[in-house]
Amino acid sequence: MKNSFSQSMAWLHTWAGLIVGWLLFVIFVGGTIACFDAELDRWMRPGTAAQAPARPAVERVIDALQKEQGDAHAWYVYLPTQRFPALKGGAYHDDGRYEVHAYDAATGARLQDTAGGEFFFTLHYNLHAGTIGMYLVGLAGMMMLVAIVTGVVVHKRIFKDLFLFRFRAGGQRAWLDGHNLTGVLGLPFHLMIAYTGVAIFVASYMPAGLRTGYGGDAEKFYQEVAPSPHRQEMHRPPPSRAPLWPMIEDARRRLRADPWLVSVEHPADASTIVGVGLDHSRHVAWNWRTAYYDGVTGASLGESPPPGAAYHTYNFLGGLHMVQFGGMAFRWLYFALGLSGCAMLACGMQVWVEKRAKQVAAAGALSGYGLVRALNVGVVAGLPFAAVSMLWANRWLPADVAGRGDWEIRTFCIAWPLAAIWAIARLRRGKPWRDLFAATSMLMIGLPFVSMFVAERGALPRTLADGDWRMAMVDSTLLALGIGFAWLARRAASAAARKESETASAASEPA
């Protein structure tokens, strides 16, 4: 068979893409939003001070953790940064539970709880489905890798097509060109993000190396690549707790940079160890350099050595994925390329439908084709609607409601299926794409205005007046996205109208 390799690759591209396209879309949207997770975390706590004092109230956070999370396996205190100028205190429990709250940097008063940007980050890496979700995401990432490589193989005129967008051609042509343009333009990024994405959890996805090299003893491996002091538990409570701030100041001198992450291991045991580490903003590679202290006496226990070559490569790949380096410019670049990835996926799945337009029309709604169309509109148009609904919930929920973050997530979980069901019901007659895009657009554009009334301290007029650009940026991004969705709604409406008239004229023509 002539050209059969290219054909088999086209086939693989089509099916690998179709099977995981929707899942990948969810992962991409989550990841794109998570580029600004810290900014969103703050936006969802309107009124958080824009500047943290030089001496944040870490003791208050430790007091709160002592009172509420005394039996935790480890505590984590996140010091204020420019992106998130408040304190965070988290507790990690033996059963894998992780509970985190934010505290005012100056007073140590607990801030309003929210699902925050963290929600989208978790959606991105495990779909809020724990270990199973992590494996699903890994599988989707693998198939994305395959789809990218085969996509390049099937694409013979890869450079020429970059300049080709038959936008007005409509139908399959426009979708295919959209898919190609975003796919080729973002190709290096997509390849990098897929590979580094699956590489982050390589120890879970591919334990063959640990099995062969360490007999499956992961603990031993991590002690070799990233050693940290470990002490036997003494099974008695610590007689006292050394103050944190002197350790943080000492770590600042030792590591020659501003500390970010303070961990307290086994806080309920006399063997407790405090680690003070940096954030990952200075280098591409994750920086795990940490200074350790005895939690009872405050005496220094030394520093972690720099990682070996291979593990440094791993840290580099992980850092490249998580874009904590390069500041706002790189965050925006990743955000834009992430959006283009979302567009690539949405266009690609639409190509599948348009290519089979005849079969789709013949098969009707209750068929495999109907299912694909339903999933397309339910996921691609439903997810942005659910995401912005969640932000609305953040603004509308009463300030003192218990489990505020959970209610935000609940809103997301209700809004999405509702939008999807409604769109599917309108699939046969109606314009579900236009409807959902228009609704999303209105919610996005409306949100900055709603904030003016219900969260005045975090609203655009105030943040602009204060020169708080990061928060103003969130609102203006919402406005820009809202305009984008309005444009999509208009296009969806005219495309649906064209299709209707085509079918009508085809039906009226004599056979």
User: Which residues would be at the binding site for other proteins (CB under 8 A)?
Assistant: 4-5, 8-9, 11-12, 15-16, 19, 139, 142, 145-146, 149-150, 153, 195, 198-199, 202-203, 206, 208-215, 221, 224-225, 308-311, 313-314, 317
Classify the phi-psi angles of 264: left when phi > 0, otherwise alpha if psi is within -120 to 50, otherwise beta.
beta
Of 359 and 503, CB closest to other proteins: 359
Can you list the alpha helix ranges (DSSP code H) found in 155-207?
171-185, 187-200, 202-205
| Shortest Cβ 139–other proteins spacing (Å) | 8
How far is Cα 37 from Cα 32, in angstroms, rounded to an integer?
9
The C-alpha angle 99, 65, 47, rounded to 5 degrees, equals 70
| Shortest Cβ 284–other proteins spacing (Å) | 16
- The neighbouring-strand residues paired with 369 are none
Of 320 and 473, CB closest to other proteins: 320
| Shortest Cβ 22–other proteins spacing (Å) | 16
Q: How many helices (H) and strands (E) does the chain have?
A: 20, 7
| Shortest Cβ 318–other proteins spacing (Å) | 11
- The neighbouring-strand residues paired with 244 are none
How far is Cα 194 from Cα 149, in angstroms, rounded to an integer?
11
Of 5 and 167, CB closest to other proteins: 5
Nearest partner of 176 among 161, 156, 196, judged by Cα: 161
| Shortest Cβ 147–other proteins spacing (Å) | 10
Of 311 and 325, CB closest to other proteins: 311
Helix H or strand E encompassing 101: strand 98-103
Of 117 and 307, CB closest to other proteins: 307
| Shortest Cβ 192–other proteins spacing (Å) | 12
What residue type is assigned to position 181 of the chain? Answer: L
Of 145 and 379, CB closest to other proteins: 145
The phi and psi torsions of 484 (rounded to 5 degrees) equal -60, -45
Of 287 and 451, CB closest to other proteins: 287
Of 355 and 491, CB closest to other proteins: 355
How far is Cα 277 from Cα 301, in angstroms, rounded to an integer?
14
Of 114 and 150, CB closest to other proteins: 150
Enter the tokens of residue 68.
């509420």
Of 465 and 511, CB closest to other proteins: 511
For 110, which DSSP code?
B
Report CA torsion sign: 329, 332, 334, 340: negative
| Shortest Cβ 231–other proteins spacing (Å) | 23
- The neighbouring-strand residues paired with 275 are 263, 292
| Shortest Cβ 301–other proteins spacing (Å) | 22
Helix H or strand E encompassing 262: strand 259-265
- The neighbouring-strand residues paired with 262 are 77, 276
| Shortest Cβ 311–other proteins spacing (Å) | 5
| Shortest Cβ 36–other proteins spacing (Å) | 28
Largest CA distance in the chain: 93
Is the CB of residue 189 less than 8 Å from the CB of residue 148?
no
Of 27 and 57, CB closest to other proteins: 27
The phi and psi torsions of 186 (rounded to 5 degrees) equal -90, 5
How far is Cα 125 from Cα 196, in angstroms, rounded to an integer?
12
| Shortest Cβ 306–other proteins spacing (Å) | 13
Is the CB of residue 482 less than 8 Å from the CB of residue 445?
yes
